[in-house]
Structure 1
Amino acid sequence: MDSNTIFNIQNAADFEDVALQVFNFQFKNNRVYRSFCDLLYIHPSDVTCIQQIPFLPIQFFKTRDILSSQSAIQTTFTSSGTTGNETSKHHVTDLDVYNKSFTKGFEHFYGPIEDYVILGLLPSYLERQGSSLIYMVDAMIKTSKHPESGFYLNNLEELKEALIKLDTEGKKVLLIGVSFALLDLVETYQFQLKNTIIMETGGMKGKRKELIRNELHDILKSGFGVEDIHSEYGMTELLSQAYSKGQGVFECPPWMKILTRDTEDALSIQPAEKAGGLNIIDLANINSCAFIATQDLGRVKTDGTFEVIGRFDNADIRGCNLMVL
């Protein structure tokens, strides 16, 4: 399939059509996904809408090579995991698709990356290899073309001074950070920022007690002096991201869609507004698997936006925006 088709989706009808094409393609070319569909006795001839497409449990990325392409693997993104747990592996055969996805996805909601000074506060990710989030933010830093853009590790005082200076100068700033590091920053320094977007990627990474989103955002709003905390929802197994501009309500780019499944019947798709397990269609996963049943619990609204409200019991606490109630 031509990956450009994915990024030319204009409406719901386009999405449905392309999603069914991708399903047919992956059924034929992804051995793991084909075996999964066969076990469910589901064939493309039986599938006429996206609600009938089987969603591969996300755990398969820990134990199998999920590939729909015969091309050479260009890189492998890995999850951080927790001690003693297997990590997920997402083999990427075409990095250009990922580059297009995170660039077009961010610009769909926020405008050109070049307009922003990009500051990354992602210590737990910087300290390991294979993070798709670090790859994305590093590319955004390079695209921004602002000399002030860059990563921060433990140099919080330097970051504080940069934030105050850039905000005072009226520059558009995006500070994207893991939750525990943002909390460390506001516990040490207080801000009154006017031109800065604070975007959390979730996760305490075992550094702190997990907080519900409202509690985390209230602390961050007070500490940074901003009205809203933005959020990024992504994970190793996806090549696209959803974004929230406040209140924990996420919106997907045109090539990504969220459905919820019944917690007791994994094959039953829920109606809007009913909480359930999050199933994700990420068409940027053209070369792996675009249909994933995650371990997150959430609710999809009638307008297609969604909330993450927790995780299934015994699921690993990891990754981006996987905060537990």
Structure 2
Amino acid sequence: MYFCEVSITSKAIFSNHSAAEFSGQALEIFNFQAINCAVYHQYIHHLGVRIEQVKNIEQIPFLPISFFKSHSILSTTAPVEVTFSSSGTTGMSQSNHLVTDVKLYEQSYLQAFNQFYGNIEEYCFLALLPSYQERTGSSLIYMVDDLIQKSKHPQSGYFLYNHDDLFSTLKDLKNRKQKTVLIGVTYALLDFIEQYEIHFPELVVMETGGMKGKRKEMVREELHEQLTKGFGVAAIHSEYGMTELLSQAYSLGDGIFHCPDWMRVLIRDTNDPLSLIEKGRTGGINVIDLANINSCSFIATQDLGRINPDGSFEVLGRFDNADIRGCNLLVQ
């Protein structure tokens, strides 16, 4: 193994990409990581894939996400600045994402929010994330901390289990016609609306993280029906992200996710994980995240989904026996 340089800068990663530009950057990053990431290099070697023969993104091998539990996934010798860890459940091993340049993560979520929602400083951010706050190493908490700070709104903050204060804050923000995002772990949002009901049509309710073993899993339609009624909103927004990625896709309603410009989703055949399938068919979700340039940008998740004709995608569940984890996944 030896280390070579990659010419792609963060400015290039987060620029607006045509399909050809995205493919070109992805292939350059693949060639870099195939040499410099020891685990990815060995994985490709064992598959019998020759690096020089990979000419398009459909030919790129995707690293199974489970490797983040057992190996250090790095494509650089730079020191690790922060380690993000998955929530997992008791007795299950955690995934660890070793991040050598946390500014890549910061630029990813800040630019993605701006792409989908607009200027951060126009919003008040409220967070109902008890499961995440009560542990260390959460990439979601890192992001929300920064969004709260950068919003500069005096009422932005966490509420943990303080539903009374959250209710009064929501009422006040509604009366002030303040743009507001409430990001919450799914079970905590349900706990809240069992006590309180508010009609706040302009509120962005963003659910993330599932039930964490606190409640029985629900199909998305039933869950979103309850949440839209409880908060008085037309749709429930969702975030599709995970510890092993530095980028997130967002759904502005109906469980339809869109990627930021530097992220793509492909669907693999469940019976042949090295083969991709066409739009409209259900299979395993593969993610290309260019922001993961210092770890691995090509991740085969344990999630099932399908891509729609316009390039958006849906998450339809998980593979059998896959760990229940912190990314936003509902059984459907």
Q: Same fold, TM exceeding 0.5? A: yes
Please name the residue that 2:46 is paired with.
Answer: 39
Q: SS state of the match for residue 8, structure 1?
A: coil
Match of 2:99 among 92, 116, 121: 92
Please name the residue that 2:3 is paired with.
Answer: none
1:211-226 equivalences in 2 (<5 Å)? 211-226=218-233
User: Given that residues 202 and 323 in structure 1 are in contact (C-alpha distance below 8 angstroms), is that contact kept between their aligned partners in structure 2?
Assistant: no
Q: TM-score w.r.t. structure 2 length?
A: 0.97
Match of 1:317 among 313, 324, 329: 324
Please name the residue that 2:292 is paired with.
Answer: 285
The aligned amino acid for 2:32 is F
Structure 1 residue 69, shift from structure 2 partner: 1.1
Q: SS state of the match for residue 284, structure 2?
A: strand
Please name the residue that 1:156 is paired with.
Answer: 163
Q: SS state of the match for residue 194, structure 1?
A: coil
Distance 1:105 1:42 in 2: 33
Q: Give yes or no for the alignment of 1:103 onto 2:99.
A: no
1:97-246 equivalences in 2 (<5 Å)? 97-246=104-253
Distance 1:168 1:42 in 2: 60
Distance 2:327 2:293 in 1: 21
Distance 2:224 2:157 in 1: 24
Structure 1 residue 202, shift from structure 2 partner: 3.3
Match of 1:260 among 238, 248, 267: 267
Distance 2:156 2:202 in 1: 15
Structure 1 residue 11, shift from structure 2 partner: 1.4
Distance 1:304 1:43 in 2: 29
Q: Give yes or no for the alignment of 1:249 onto 2:249.
A: no
User: Given that residues 83 and 137 in structure 2 are in contact (C-alpha distance below 8 angstroms), is that contact kept between their aligned partners in structure 1?
Assistant: yes
Structure 1 residue 43, shift from structure 2 partner: 2.2
User: Given that residues 132 and 138 in structure 2 are in contact (C-alpha distance below 8 angstroms), is that contact kept between their aligned partners in structure 1?
Assistant: yes
Q: Percent identity?
A: 57
Q: Deviation per CA, 1:235-280, whole angstroms, max 9, x where unpaired?
A: 0001000000000000000100000100000001010111000000
Distance 2:261 2:55 in 1: 20
User: Given that residues 202 and 233 in structure 2 are in contact (C-alpha distance below 8 angstroms), is that contact kept between their aligned partners in structure 1?
Assistant: no
Distance 2:228 2:16 in 1: 35
Q: SS state of the match for residue 199, structure 1?
A: strand
Distance 2:23 2:16 in 1: 10
Q: How many residues align?
A: 325
User: Given that residues 243 and 252 in structure 1 are in contact (C-alpha distance below 8 angstroms), is that contact kept between their aligned partners in structure 2?
Assistant: yes
Residue segments in structure 1 that go unaligned for 5+ positions in a row:
none
Structure 1 residue 195, shift from structure 2 partner: 2.3
Q: Deviation per CA, 1:2-31, whole angstroms, max 9, x where unpaired?
A: 222211242111100100011011011100
Distance 2:69 2:100 in 1: 18
User: Which consecutive aligned stretches of 4+ in structure 1 deviate over 6 angstroms post-superposition?
Assistant: none
The aligned amino acid for 1:76 is T
Q: Deviation per CA, 1:58-114, whole angstroms, max 9, x where unpaired?
A: 000000000011100000000011111100000000011000000001111101111
The aligned amino acid for 1:270 is I
Q: TM-score w.r.t. structure 1 length?
A: 0.99
Please name the residue that 1:295 is paired with.
Answer: 302
Distance 1:177 1:166 in 2: 17
Distance 1:234 1:218 in 2: 23
Relative to structure 2, which stretch is displaced further, 131-140 or 191-200?
Answer: 191-200
Relative to structure 2, which stretch is displaced further, 278-287 or 313-322?
Answer: 313-322
Q: Deviation per CA, 1:193-219, whole angstroms, max 9, x where unpaired?
A: 032111101310010001111111000
Q: SS state of the match for residue 14, structure 2?
A: helix
Distance 2:52 2:237 in 1: 42
Q: SS state of the match for residue 121, structure 2?
A: helix
Distance 2:121 2:32 in 1: 35
Structure 1 residue 41, shift from structure 2 partner: 1.4
The aligned amino acid for 1:242 is A
